[in-house]
Amino acid sequence: MRRRNRAVYAPLWLTYLFFYTPIAVMVVMSFNSSDAPFVFEGFSLKWYGALAENENVLHGLVNTLIVAVGTTVVATVVGTMLAVGLARHTRSKVLEALGTLPAILPELMLAVGLIIFYSAVQFTLGLHSILLAHLTFGIPLVAVVVRVRLASMDMSLEEASRDLGAGAVPTFLRITLPGLMPGVAAGALLAFTFSLDEFVLAFFTAEPTEPTLPIVIYSMIRFGVTPDINALATILLAVSCTAVIAVQRMTRLTESFK
């Protein structure tokens, strides 16, 4: 084969430069000893220490973890069932669209619709209202990832189980689910990452005294930048990156773009 012209790769390097320069600068700044958030003077971990004493951040973190764990548990169970149901038990395009539509709508639309709905049924706001809001994206997300896995699985085992007289539920638990586990775990991790980072839905559906971490970060950025945001941002980046790399290992997520 003819050797490719290396100039083809130039746009790729420029895109990476664009993507990673701001992130890299921020990470470097998080280890800064200076009190100014944008000027680097020397290496220090003091901003990580400052975070541990920032009560707003800790409160937000606890709230976020509660919401994210709750969202992950419900979205994983329900999303997996939805994926199996859509793939194996119906051919309806309408149900299929219903299962993915909420993930396509702009978050702001869902947020606005939800506060109207919550107020119409006189639902009190709190962590549970954020959790429910996150399910609108979490369930379709898990369902999509699990279906990619389902599509690559051999259906004849399930058919054999049904032919031998096992019902739909035992077949699912004993045959389908074990093979599905990498997809389920990947979906769970993505749902967790999504909920951990989600801002718009949380901002609209939160009770003001119980903010999640992204809401705390938003007000930190908006009302006075202090260097401890750099440290917090670096920690959150590390968590998301670890999760996405783990998902890639479990599902070869990138293969789904072929």
Please report, as residue ranges, which positions from 86 to 145 form the binding site for other proteins (by CB under 8 A). Answer: 86, 88-90, 95, 98-99, 101-102, 104-110, 112-117, 119-120, 132-133, 135-136, 139-140, 143
The number of residues that bind other proteins (CB under 8 A) is: 92
CA 114 – CA 205 distance, rounded (Å): 7
Among 173, 177, 181, 245, interactor with other proteins by CB under 8 A: 245
Residue 211 binds other proteins (CB under 8 A)? no
**Cβ burial, residue 125 (10 Å; 0-12/13-18/19+):** middle
Residue 169 binds other proteins (CB under 8 A)? yes
Residue 181 binds other proteins (CB under 8 A)? no
Element (H, E) at 116: helix 107-120
CA dist 214 → 62, 81, 206, 224, 237 (Å): 12, 30, 11, 15, 13
Contacts of residue 108, defined as CB under 8 A and 6 or more positions apart, other chains included, come to 200
> Which window, 53-61, 65-73, 147-155, 225-233, contacts other proteins (CB under 8 A)?
225-233
Stretch 13-42: interaction string toward other proteins, x if CB under 8 A: -xxx-xxxxxx-xx--x------xxxx---
DSSP state of 140: H
**Secondary structure of residue 187 in the 3-state scheme:** helix
Residue type, 109: M
> Which window, 53-61, 147-155, 158-166, 222-230, contacts other proteins (CB under 8 A)?
222-230
Among 51, 195, 214, 231, interactor with other proteins by CB under 8 A: 214
Return the number of other C-beta atoms located less than 10 Å from residue 25's C-beta: 13
Stretch 43-72: interaction string toward other proteins, x if CB under 8 A: ------------------------------
